[in-house]
Chains A and B, each alone.
Chain A
Amino acid sequence: MERQPAGAADRRMIKAAVIENFRGFRRTELQDCRRVNIIVGANASGKTALLEALFLASGGSPEIALRFRQWRGLEQGVTGVLATDFLWNDLFYNFDKDNEISIKLIMDPFGQRSLDISYTGDKTVLLPGYNLTQAHYTPSPVSFTWETPDGKSTITPIMGPMGNIQISGAAQPKVENYFFSSGGHYSAADTANRFSQLSQNYQEQEIVDVFTSEFPKIDKLGVEIYNGIPALSGSIGGIPKKLPLALISGGVNKFATILCCLHFQRHTTLFVDEIENGFYFNRLESLWRNIHKIAMKNEAQIFASTHSAECLQAASLIAEKYPDDFSVIHLGKHGSKHFQGRQFTFAMEEDIEIR
């Protein structure tokens, strides 16, 4: 799970998006996004890429694009000049770097936010302040330009001789969002820090209440330090010590992490790849219920992918009561197809395949 930092409140919700030349997308559009957006489609239809595009454009730094590789299980350590090309190539549609990547987000109610990623070729340009001895620190061949109604900023990662990458500055204005990869690597320390900050402001009780109602066997939720590293921990019957949630259950840990992210700050956007991973099937309905409830309260927005019919069915039980808050986005050969709340529940009720 990756977090981008909080900053100016330049946005509330992604209402629509246009993605061009990013990964497998020549061009695709999202329209009328809702509070909870569930992305479905076959393998290699672009579900993860869609989440990546939205995450990258909605804030952050070029570093995130590198983390995508790690989340997808690709090696991160690369060295040499050729590697600088290699690192960014797969962001471009058909590896064609002549076509600039463009990701436009229509935000409600704060206008448009866009990210352009362009290839600057083999132009090795000395950056201001660099002397010849530093010449082997070269700008990477791509630059990232974010533009919002408040301004524009371009960041060009600097590639070091050992494959290290320096990224100074950040897209402005920054936003608060989180990415949960399907691999489910969540930092126990990050979650503990968020919980601790909430606790310091007496705001943790809602998380505790939801968590213990969902997992009544686990109580005494709190932050403990294990060998100097904080971890959200709990007590489980029969075990004489409190345990980090990550040691109790992957699903329990993921649930707590999602709760903490949604509670931590208002107007958060969560991107969750394969949201059903780690959850026992009969937890899915309450997972959606809680996500929706907290998202409504904190004005958060969710984009989550799934392959699971059970997961969709569980979401539809909540969507039935709140149809305007849900959307299903199917990615297929011919682009995206949207099923808004009522269509979504109809399809589930009639057992119509929309995955």
Chain B
Amino acid sequence: MIRRRKIGAFEFDRPWLILCEGRGDKELLHKLITSDPSLHNTFTIRFPSRESDSTGGRGKFGNWLRDVCDTAPSFGENVRGVVIVSDVDADRSGSLREITSGLSAAGLPTPSGEGVEARSAGFPATIIIYLVPHDTLGSLDTLCVQALGSKWNLLEVVEEYIDKTPAVAWSATKRGKAMLHALLAATCATKPEATLSTVWQECAKYHIPLDTNVFDDLIAKLASLRKSRL
């Protein structure tokens, strides 16, 4: 179902497109790249929002990119690279395979692995895939839990709490989401129901800290893209 939205058509006016999984990821990535002056004016961030696309999860990336390429003149004119930032979840190679299968099915350049650039005729941009976290299972939420938990010195407490709930049996990604919700609810005094996408509208002291080394690897990768010659 097409949602009614405010009128304000979108244009791709940056050389790199970051394609992520959802609104919360988008807001976090936006904060990350705007907090680092070296990343300004380089990245547009979008996520496949098309509800009518029955392709699930990461498989949507391929169809979405193909449709954007077909419909948005500004994509072909301005975008030279696409970086897909997706969650590792419980199976690093499985997650990568899900993305590359979707890209391949859409007839797009298909990277052979994480951090490998792919290019092909008929598509104007290089495609590269980064899975997060880079060194463990989980998701972007997992990184946020580490950052926010450290800030409030609640990391051990929230892990202990989650271990005493049914979430103990969940996947790393789901446990990460539960811990993030718990941390936000217990620290964001102005809006305990804040989420990864809405907490940024609250007072800065309740934000997830971005100046920790938790995000260093991701920022370094994005910075290297900015410097790369496409």
Contacts and interface: CB of A to CB of B under 8 A. Distances in A.
A199 to B, nearest CB: 38
A305 B215 CA distance: 49
Contacts of B67: 342-343, 346, 350
A54 B184 CA distance: 60
Contacts of A343: 67, 70-71
A349 B10 CA distance: 11
B71 A354 contact: yes
Which size class do A's interface residues fall under? 20 to 34
Interface stretch (B1-9, B83-91, B123-131, B165-173): B1-9
Given A320-B52, A346-B50, A351 B71 contact: no
Contacts of A347: 71-72
B3 A337 contact: no
Interface residues of B, number: 22
Contact of A348 (B2, B64, B68, B70): B2
Contact of A320 (B2, B49, B71, B73): B2
A309 B8 CA distance: 8
B38 interface: no
Interface stretch (A12-20, A212-220, A310-318): A310-318
Contacts of A355: 9
Given A349-B49, A353-B74, A354-B71, A309 B7 contact: yes
**What's the dominant secondary structure at chain B's contact region?**
loop
A352 B71 contact: yes
A350 B68 contact: yes
Of B9, B46, B68, B73, the most chain A CB neighbours within 10 A belong to: B9
Nearest to A349: B2
A117 to B, nearest CB: 32
A186 interface: no
Interface in B47-76: 49-50, 52, 64, 67-68, 70-74
Contacts of B64: 350
B50 to A, nearest CB: 6
B72 A317 contact: no
A309 B71 contact: no
B11 interface: yes
Of A313, A342, A345, A346, the most chain B CB neighbours within 10 A belong to: A346
B10 A351 contact: yes
Interface string A323-355: 000000000100001010011111111111111
Contacts of B4: 313
B71 A346 contact: yes
20 contacts: A309-B7, A309-B9, A310-B7, A313-B4, A313-B7, A316-B2, A332-B73, A337-B73, A339-B70, A342-B67, A343-B71, A344-B71, A346-B50, A347-B71, A350-B71, A351-B10, A352-B9, A353-B72, A354-B71, A355-B9
Interface of A: 309-310, 313, 316-317, 320, 332, 337, 339, 342-355
